[in-house]
Amino acid sequence: MEKFKAGWSNQVRIMTIVMGIILLLCLVSFGSRAYLNPTNYNVIFCSILTVLILAFAIGCIIYSPRYLTVDKNNITIKKLSGKITIPVNEITTIERRTNLGFDSKKFGSGGFFGYNGYFVNDAVGRYTGYVTDQHKIFWVITPRKKYTLSCDDPDRFVSLVKNCIG
């Protein structure tokens, strides 16, 4: 079994830091607003916004991939919230991608802790993305599901999986 780190690109790092600061400033602003003017409306409104912001941030953190592993039977995407296993014998296509380009995000994160979620592409249709570096991405397509993944050495990863397939 080989392990491949899902390292962040500079773009993802910057986006995560900037968004983290913005979200933190929003939380401070909502908290001070509720504290300085503690009407029922302010407290309820600020509490709801705080819960939504924290839920969004926590969701992005636990959905982001940490590393990928490949062995002769499976590809495993390890996330903080668990793992996803893709049987190698079900893979119909695995190949490098150039970038995310004009893919449309339907639900997920567009750079905050990575490009993770559900996307649509003109070439393959709907797919799930677990991308932490847009310059190191590849397709993994099975009859049931399509993925775009990234890791620190995508050429080697794709080569290993192709060797396991055939």
How is 21-53 classified by DSSP, letter by letter? HHHHHHHHHHHHHHHHS--HHHHHHHHHHHHHH
Question: How confident is the prediction for the chain on average, in pLDDT?
Answer: 89
The sign of the CA dihedral 103, 81, 13, 156 is: negative
Instruction: Tell me the sheet residues that pair with 115.
Output: 110, 131
Residue 135: CB partners within 8 Å, gap ≥ 6?
Answer: 9, 99
- Determine the pLDDT at residue 9: 92
* Tens digit of each residue's pLDDT (9 = 90 or more) over 137-154: 999 999 999 999 999 999
Strand ranges inside 6-70, DSSP E: 65-70
Q: What is the pTM of this model?
A: 0.84
Q: Region 1-12: what's the mean pLDDT?
A: 92
Whether the pLDDT of residue 19 is over 70: the answer is yes
- Token readout for 118 is 């559900």
Report d(CA 129, CA 25) in Å as an integer. 29
Whether the pLDDT of residue 55 is over 70: the answer is yes
- Determine the pLDDT at residue 106: 85
Angle (deg, nearest 10), helices 10-36 and 40-63:
160
Q: Are 85 and 92 in contact (CB under 8 A)?
A: no
Report d(CA 24, CA 22) in Å as an integer. 5
